[in-house]
Amino acid sequence: MSSSSYLRSAARRLSSAIPHARTIHMTAPRAALYANADAQTFKKVTGTPGRLVLVDFHAEYVDNYLFIVYWKSTVEYRWCGPCHQLSPVLEALSAEPNKSGSGLPIDLVKIDTDSEDGYQLCTQFEVKAMPTVIAFKDGVLVSKFTGALPPPRVKKFIDEL
C-alpha cells in the first residue's frame, strides 16, 4: 500500500469516527416592521416575550380633504402632517438593534386608524389624537406619547423603556 492511499484510508476512518460539526453564528434578533398591521398581527407581536414593541397609531388620510392655495394653485393635502413627520423617525430608531434602554430589540407595528381593526384598537387603548405611540414590553403597556416629538425626544422615550 502506498503512503498516499494509506493516508486517504486513515483520513476516512477518522472522519467517520468524528461527528460532523457546524459553525453557528448568532446575532441579536433583528427588529421587525409591521406596516398597516391588523388586530391579529398586533396581538401576536405585542404578546411576544423578550421584545419591546412600539405601536404607531397613525392616520393615512384625514377625513376631510384640506385644500391649500399656494401661489395660485390648489394642492390636495391628504396626509396627517405630524404622522408623516414621526413615521421615518420611528422607523430609523427601531431599525437600530438593541437601542432601547432595556437592551431589547425593538419591533415597530404601524396601525392605520382608518381601518376597521385600527378603529377598534384606538377605542381599546383610548387613542384620542394622531400620532400616538404606545410601547409594550412582554405584552404589557409600559408607556405612551402623543404628537410628533422631535427625534431627540423620541430617542429619549425609547431609552427610558
User: Which residues participate in catalysis according to the annotation?
Assistant: 80, 83
What is the chain's percent helix, strand, coil content, to nearest 5?
35, 25, 40
CA distance 147 to 160: 18
Contact 82, 130 (CB under 8 A): yes
Torsion sign, CA atoms 28, 39, 85, 141 = negative
Nearest CA to 83 out of 132, 42, 128 is that of: 132
Residue 72 burial (C-beta neighbours within 10 Å; 0-12, 13-18, 19+): exposed
